[in-house]
Amino acid sequence: MNVFIVFAHPEPTSLNGTIKDIAVKILKNNGHEVKISDLYGINFKAVLDQEDFASRKNPESFNPMIEQVNAVANGTLPQDIQDEVEKLKWADILILQFPVWWSSMPAILKGWIDRVFLPGVVHNMGEGKVYNEGLLNGKKAMLSFTTGSPQELYSSEGPHGDLNEAFRSITHTIFEFAGLEVMPSFGLYGAAMRSEEDVKMELEKFKQVLNSI
Ligand SMILES: Cc1cc2nc3c(=O)[nH]c(=O)nc-3n(C[C@H](O)[C@H](O)[C@H](O)COP(=O)(O)OP(=O)(O)OC[C@H]3O[C@@H](n4cnc5c(N)ncnc54)[C@H](O)[C@@H]3O)c2cc1C
């Protein structure tokens, strides 16, 4: 299978970096093809703005979605977005690897979604091509994340509430909206509070997840 890992941590030697490296190693060992976008490493532009559209449908007033539709149709996307789109089209499985920041993904990863999950590439809302008809239908996606807070705080009874519920804003209204089949998330909770041994045990669980792909 072709696996596309989007890695969003500013430090390559971080725990998230280790998890990404483990994924690459195991997936390759198991015969899969792997491509990575290290968003901080490539200094990925995180904001969708007018600069993305050198050739505008409407130069008078900036409507981001209309310009996205136009750029996809005319092949005028900037190269950094085009590179990501090609990896997305190539992939059978998309993995987003990130630390949880403010119970969400880091801004650079949200910016990747804003700029790469394009109309005409992942959905075509005007023609009803969303959810089961989404343009990424047939592909799968998974979240792999770490948190500072322990899992009890992110349980349905805990003060933060169930993180997997909060992440439906990604798994349902982004992934499933685009037609992607959602794989179970891998969450390594309470990263900073765990002993090294404990982290290693969690990493073993992640390896099992990867081996099941
Ligand atoms: C802006 C911001 C907002 C945040 N918001 C939230 C939030 O809303 N909710 C929340 O829960 N947390 C939050 N955090 C905390 C954040 O989620 C954690 O700091 C992050 O998930 C830890 O991942 P890391 O890759 O940075 O870990 P690292 O700091 O790199 O590592 C964490 C620990 O893992 C162990 N470790 C690292 N590598 C290995 C290895 N190879 N083998 C064994 N052990 C290892 C070490 O003990 C290390 O101390 C926030 C942090 C920031 C900066």
Domain range annotation of the chain = 2-211
17 is annotated as an active-site residue: no
144 lines ligand 1 (CB under 6 A): no
Of 134, 154, 179, 187, catalytic: 154
108 lines ligand 1 (CB under 6 A): no
pTM tops 0.95: yes
147 lines ligand 1 (CB under 6 A): yes
154 is annotated as an active-site residue: yes
Write out residues in the chain with pLDDT < 70, as ranges: none
DSSP H or E run through 37: strand 33-38
State the virtual CA torsion across 83, 167, 184, 175 in degrees, nearest 10: -40
Which of 204, 206, 184 has its CA nearest to residue 93?
184
DSSP state at residue 78: -
**pLDDT computed for residue 192 by the predictor:** 84
Cβ distance 154 to 112 under 8 Å?
no
Which of 117, 118, 94 has its CA nearest to residue 185?
94
**pLDDT computed for residue 156 by the predictor:** 95
20 lines ligand 1 (CB under 6 A): no
* Residue 153 CA to ligand 1 centre (angstroms): 15
Q: What is the CATH number of domain 2-211?
A: 3.40.50.360
